[in-house]
């Protein structure tokens, strides 16, 4: 178990460092080509590597960190029960979107995110749906205490909130990543929301809600019990990826998407994390009280 924790933390740190390195390359180096020419040979090779595969590395490390975290805290069965639906359902949506325009609108991926499945969707994109979707749903599920007080409304609320957190990340990420000096995708029919069609948000909400619903159904007989500290990684991953998107958007001059993301993404995520950790503290207190009561009864019987 200790080795899993170490591997998880290494992947998480690498994920964050890769995002920071990518920001430096996209925002500082690419717009100023002379900077690369003034670097030492090692620096030039590092920047070339960053431009060629930095996006691939940070997504793979993010997916690896969340997979190891989920495996360690939820078990392999429940991890795969979320990962497989999220990867294949999101891939299906992306393949449909890039070929027909449904459900996101008409867009195409450029280079920089790795090998394209069917020549349309980089293999890293479904991985990003998995790891951001997983942490979003876990925060929502823990914050609404779905496993402590399971009801139909709580399950529906967790799915809706999880999909909203996921979509709020895209509010901030999509405008910048499609209009930066080194774009990773472009909209064939730009929309009114900073170049994005409103349909894109419905597609994100719908896709996220579908694979979260499938995971919830597969988990229905296996309640999730996370301790206080075990909710820290989901929040860290969510905030780190939101931070990456925020810097990109602000650099492109898009402040409204950032404000919207803060309101509908970051604020609920932090509130759900706080509620979830508080709920676990209360649960631990109740368990300890019950144990003390049982111990007192045993003593009295003796």
Q: What was the pLDDT predicted at 96?
A: 98
Q: What was the pLDDT predicted at 296?
A: 47
Task: List, for residues 108-152, the tens digit of each pLDDT value.
Answer: 998 878 899 999 999 999 999 999 999 999 999 999 999 999 999
Nearest to 150 by CA among 79, 72, 235, 225: 225
d(CA 113, CA 115): 7
CA atoms within 13 A on the CB side of 172: 29
Q: What was the pLDDT predicted at 105?
A: 95
Pair 34, 87: CB distance under 8 Å: no
Sign of the Cα torsion 231, 212, 145, 273 reads: positive
Q: What was the pLDDT predicted at 32?
A: 65
Q: What was the pLDDT predicted at 42?
A: 67
Spans of the chain, pLDDT less than 70? 29-54, 181, 279-302
Q: What was the pLDDT predicted at 277?
A: 76
Cβ-based burial of 152 (10 A; exposed 0-12, middle 13-18, buried ≥19):
exposed
What is the value of pTM for the model shown? 0.88
Q: What was the pLDDT predicted at 46?
A: 60
What is the residue whose two structure tokens read 């001059």? 253
């Amino acid at each position: 178990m200790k080795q899993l924790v170490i591997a998880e933390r290494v992947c998480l740190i690498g994920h964050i460092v890769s995002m920071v390195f990518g920001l430096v390359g996209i925002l500082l180096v690419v717009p100023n080509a002379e900077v690369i020419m003034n670097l030492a040979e090692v620096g030039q090779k590092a920047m070339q590597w960053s431009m060629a595969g930095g996006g691939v590395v940070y997504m793979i490390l993010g997916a690896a960190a969340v997979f190891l975290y989920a495996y360690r805290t939820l078990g392999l069965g429940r991890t795969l029960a979320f990962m497989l639906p999220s990867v294949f359902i999101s891939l299906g949506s992306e393949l449909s979107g890039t070929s027909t325009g449904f459900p996101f609108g008409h867009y195409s991926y450029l280079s920089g995110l790795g090998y394209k499945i069917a020549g349309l969707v980089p293999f890293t994109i479904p991985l990003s749906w998995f790891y951001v979707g997983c942490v979003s749903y876990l925060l929502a599920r823990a914050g609404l205490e779905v496993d402590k007080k399971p009801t139909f409304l709580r399950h529906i609320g967790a799915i809706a909130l999880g999909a909203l957190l996921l979509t709020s990340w895209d509010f901030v990420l999509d405008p910048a990543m499609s209009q930066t000096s080194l774009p990773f995708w472009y909209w064939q029919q730009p929309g009114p929301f900073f170049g994005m069609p409103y349909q894109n948000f419905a597609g994100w909400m719908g896709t996220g809600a579908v694979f979260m619903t499938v995971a919830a159904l597969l988990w229905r007989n296996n309640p999730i019990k996370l301790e206080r500290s075990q909710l820290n990684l989901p929040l860290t991953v969510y905030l780190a990826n939101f931070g990456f998107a925020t810097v990109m958007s602000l650099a492109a001059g898009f402040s409204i998407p950032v404000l919207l993301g803060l309101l509908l993404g970051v604020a609920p995520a932090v509130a759900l994390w706080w509620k979830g950790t508080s709920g676990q503290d209360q649960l631990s207190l109740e368990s300890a009280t019950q144990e003390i009561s049982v111990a007192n009864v045993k003593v009295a019987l003796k």
